[in-house]
Structure 1
Amino acid sequence: MTTGRRGRLTVYLGAAPGVGKTYAMLDEAHRRRARGTDVVIGLVETHGRTATVERIGDLEMLPRRLVEHRGTTLTELDVPAVLERAPEVALVDELAHTNAPGSEHPKRWQDVHDLLDAGIDVVTTVNVQHLASLTDDVEAITGVRQRETVPDKVVREADQIQLVDLSPEQLRRRLAHGNVYRADQIDASMSSFFRIGNLTALRELALLWLADRVDDALTRYRADHAIGGTWPARERIVVAVTGGPETETLLRRAARIAQRAAGTELLAVHVLPTDGLPSTPSATIAAHRGLAESLGGVFHTVVGEDVPTAVVDFARGVNATMIVVGVSRHSVWRQALLGSSSAEIARLSGAIDVHLVTHERAHVGTGVGSRYSSLSPKRRAAGWGSSLVLPAALTAVLLLIGRDDLALATDAMLLLAVVVGVAMIGGLWPAVVAAVVSNLCLNWFFTPPVGRWTIAQGENVLALAVFVVVAVAVASVVDLAARRTTQAYRARAEASTLAALSRSVLSGQDTAQAIVERLAQTFAMAEVRLEERADDRAPWTVVAHERWATAEAGSGAGSGAGSGGSGATDDGSVTEVAIDDRHRLLLAGRVLPASDRQVVEAFGAQAGIVLEHRRLREQAAQAEVLERTESTRTALLAAVSHDLRTPLAVIRTAVDGLASPDVELDREDRDILTGTIADSTYRLERLIGNLLDLSRLQTGAVRPVLRAASLEEVVPIAVEPWLSDLALDVPEDLPLVHTDPGLFERVVANVVSNAVRHSPPGAKVLFTASATRASVELRIADAGPGVPDDRKATMFEPFQRLDDTSVNGLGLGLAVASGLADAVGARIAAEDTPGGGLTMVLTVPREPAPNSGQDDGMVS
Structure 2
Amino acid sequence: MKIFLGAAPGVGKTYAMLQAAHQRLADGIDVVAGVIETHGRRETEALVKGLDLLATRQVEYRGHSFKEMDLDGLLARRPALALVDELAHTNVPGSRHVKRWQDAEELLAAGIDVYATLNIQHLDSLNDVVEQISGVKVRETLPDSVLAKAGEIELIDLPPEDLIKRLHEGKVYVPEQARRAIDSFFSPGNLTALREMALRHAAERVDRQMVDYMRAHAIAGPWPARERLLVCIDEKADGDRLVRVTKRAAERRGAAWVAVTVDTSRAHAMTEAEKDRIAEAMRLAAQLGGETSTLQGDDIVAAILGYARERNATQIVVGRSRRPRLFRLGASVTDRLIRSAGDINVLVVGGEADGKAQRLGSSHMAEKPDWRGFAIAMAAAAAATGLGFAIDIWLPVASISVAYLLAVMVVAMKAGLRPAILASVAGFVAFNFFFTEPRFSFAVSDTQNILTLLFFLIAAFIVSNMASRLRAQIQTTRESARRTGNLYDFGRKVTAAATLDDVLWAVVHHVANTIRGRSLVLLPSGNGLAIAAGYPPEDQLDDKSNAAAEWAWVQGKPAGRGTATLPASLWLFLPLKTSRSPVGILGVQMTEDADMPSPEQMRLLETLTDQAAVAIERTTLVSDIEAARVATERERLRSALLSSLSHDLRTPLVSIMGAASSIISYDEALDAASRRDLAQTIQDEAERLNRFVQNLLDMTKLGAGAMKPRVDWSDLRDIVGAAVQRSSHLASRHAIKVDIAGDVPLLCVDAVLMEQVFFNLIDNACKYAPAGTPVKVWAMRTPEHVTIEVADQGPGIPPEDREKVFDMFYRVGQTDSQAAGTGLGLAICRGIVEAHGGVIHAEPGLHEAGTCIVIHLPLPPALDLPPAEAEA
TM-score range relative to shorter protein? 0.3 to 0.5
TM-score (norm 2): 0.38
Higher relative contact order, structure no. (Cα contacts within 8 Å, ≥ 6 residues apart) = 1
**Larger of the two Rg values belongs to structure:** 2
